[in-house]
Structure 1
């Protein structure tokens, strides 16, 4: 499939999980991914809902390193106790001298202590210091540069209320995207629909192809074949066409970097692609929680929002069938 047209003359939008994963990448991978976003120029556009979700989930993603490290250190401590007991059992069976046993025990516990110390240091590392200080956050700095003037406007309160009802009706009918989130509370169930609605409006205004980059692999976005993602759901492609947009493409962050690099003439480190793939392989159960899709109106004045709004024409509201009036 040729992505040249959409990357050079279309609309490219990242999902919130793509922006949040920047905290999980190595510094090199993060730098390369931000370079790829920046190279898109005016083709890059971010639904306002995506930014809301970024702020709602940012602190939990950052704190994941601390909680995961704490759990790992505790588990390592348990393994240390088991290892020492195994050593003692062996020493008794072979009549090892007390001095030799003490020496081996000290060496063994020393190794475990060193590993636990390193785990704790990583968990209390650079990210923990910037949780509440966004001015020192390299992810925020990179996104402010890449997204300046490229974030859409929020729904009005009236639009949000009506669209929430439309979204819930779509959930009941299992109309993609978002029906896999139907059990979430409140607006969390319609968060994907809000993202999609804002994408449709932007694509309608531009009359352009759309590339949506997402780490979400669920079936309410992707067409599945034998357990593999094979492009967007046909219902989404058809809906974009009805709104006056062009073709719809979906890519994971790794696929985006691999596809964009030659087209945008970017020189990237192979290790960056490998690291992004590492993050994509992380089981959702190992992450702090699934992305909270609810809109937090209190986030609208946070630093990433300021200066990044791009005024856009309001689009007529949809009808109950999901089509524009």
Structure 2
């Protein structure tokens, strides 16, 4: 029975380096692009870990294509952060000083406040502009891209033929209609997106299924277990219960077992570097694991949304706090409760801190909030 239903074994034993040495280690697009989001030392360590397992690594063709296609977008996102931070500082200064034009206050000396705010803005801008100046220009020279291209040279899946793609589209449509993972979560969002390679037009809505098809074929041809390193949290890849990831979808584990006769395991970049950190030859810095965990931590917006979807659409603040403490998806600071509250306020039009963009929550009273129906959907 254990072999028949191995896909339903949640919380598998801790992964060992010997298991990675016996398996084919695949990386998906999210795992590769996230390298650009790590501090430099952590990025170097992550690439060094990939290099250590060089004889075992392999990339589906479509992952390699997505990486090359989306790399510049990620670089642009990183570059924009500097200007966004400077804009936030400027807005803070304008907002604080603007209060005095409407709300004069005899106990608050305007001159002192203006001096403090101006000083903060000036020092903050000087700091950010200094960091920006030191930030490497990966648009001109990208050492990450060069290293990855060298490491995966000869270790990428074959370019699919047009006839093969057409057959995969038909099979993918059948699977999506029947919610057979993976890929059905992208079916609507990427309906009209395409990726081009020469004269080859690849429909992005089928990307995850095409990648999965490549992984299955690799498992069949090598008869080796497959370990997929991914930072995706989508329900068509991950087995979730109450927004806690238990592993790969049981259907995926079962399909690999039935069609290739090998095991399939899905791990995060954090798990991958955690295993690598225990191998002396790689020499991973002690701070790398924490840096990668921090880089991949869900935003507070995502964190709070997960809590509401797990508890129910109507949540009291104390219930929210309890859920967060029991499900620490990210590091909690001393003031994390205030951060959680403010996250709700930013997306609740009844609160003064409402950002004025997206409405996610409705205030029922001072301590009770409802997640709006259009945002309340279960994953798992």
Q: TM-score per shorter chain, which class?
A: 0.7 to 0.9
* 1:275 corresponds to 2:295: no
Q: CA deviation at 1:165?
A: 1.9
Q: Which has the higher contact order (CA 8 A, sep 6+)?
A: 1
Q: Which moved more, 1:268-277 or 1:198-207?
A: 268-277
Structure 1 equivalent of residue 159 of structure 2: 154
Report SS of the residue matched to 1:158: helix
In 1, Cα distance between the equivalents of 2:106 and 2:52? 66
Structure 2, unaligned stretches of length 5 or more?
A: 1-12, 193-202, 303-380
Number of the residue aligned with 1:320: none
Residue aligning to 1:163 = 168
More deviation, 188-197/145-154: 145-154
- Give the equivalent residue in structure 2 for 1:243: 259
- Tell me the equivalent position of 1:222: 238
Aligned partner of residue 218 in structure 1, secondary structure: coil
Q: Does 1:207 align with 2:216?
A: no
The answer on whether the counterparts of 1:206 and 1:245 sit within 8 Å (CA) in structure 2 is no
In 2, Cα distance between the equivalents of 1:123 and 1:168?
46
Q: 1:228 & 1:66 partners in 2: Cα distance?
A: 32
Structure 1 residues 112 and 161, CA, compared in 2 at 3 Å: closer, same or farther? Answer: same
Cα distance in 2, alignment partners of residues 86 and 284 from structure 1: 28
Which residue of 2 is the match for residue 195 of structure 1? Answer: 211
Inter-partner Cα distance in structure 1 for 2:122 and 2:261 = 58
TM-score by length of 2: 0.67
| Contact map agreement 1:7 1:260 (CA 8 A) in 2 | no
Task: Note the residue ranges of structure 1 that are not aligned, 5 or more in a row.
Answer: 287-325
TM normalised by structure 1 equals: 0.77
- Pair 1:10-2:19 in alignment: no
**What CA distance in whole angstroms lies between the structure 2 residues aligned with 1:204 and 1:220?**
22
Query: 1:282 & 1:224 partners in 2: Cα distance?
Result: 16
Q: 1:75 aligns with which of 88, 100, 108?
A: 88
Q: Please tell me whether the aligned partners of residues 276 and 284 of structure 2 are also in contact (alpha carbons under 8 angstroms).
A: no
Say whether the 8 Å CA contact 1:65–1:123 is kept in structure 2: no
Corresponding residue number in structure 1 for 2:357: none
Which of 138, 143, 146 is matched with 1:138 structurally?
143
Structure 1 or 2: more helix by fraction:
1
Q: Counterpart of 1:13 in 2: which secondary structure?
A: strand
Give the aligned partner of residue 93 of structure 1. Answer: 106
Distance in 2, Cα, partners of 1:234 & 1:85? 56
Distance 1:285 1:108 in 2: 28
Equivalent position SS for 1:211: strand
Measured after TM superposition, the shift of residue 282 of structure 1 is: 3.9
> Which residue of the partner structure matches residue 266 of structure 1?
282
Q: Structure 1 residues 95 and 104 mapped into 2: Cα distance closer, same or farther (>3 Å)?
A: closer
Shift of the 285–47 alpha-carbon distance from structure 1 to 2, 3 Å rule, reads farther
Q: Aligned equivalents of 1:168 and 1:70: distance in 2?
A: 42
The change in CA–CA distance for 1:84 and 1:265 in structure 2 (over 3 A counts) is: same
Partner residue in 1 for 2:191: 185
Distance 1:95 1:191, change over 3 A: closer
Moved more, 257-266 or 147-156: 257-266
* 8 Å Cα contact 2:26-2:228 kept in structure 1: yes
Normalized per residue, which structure has more strand?
Answer: 2
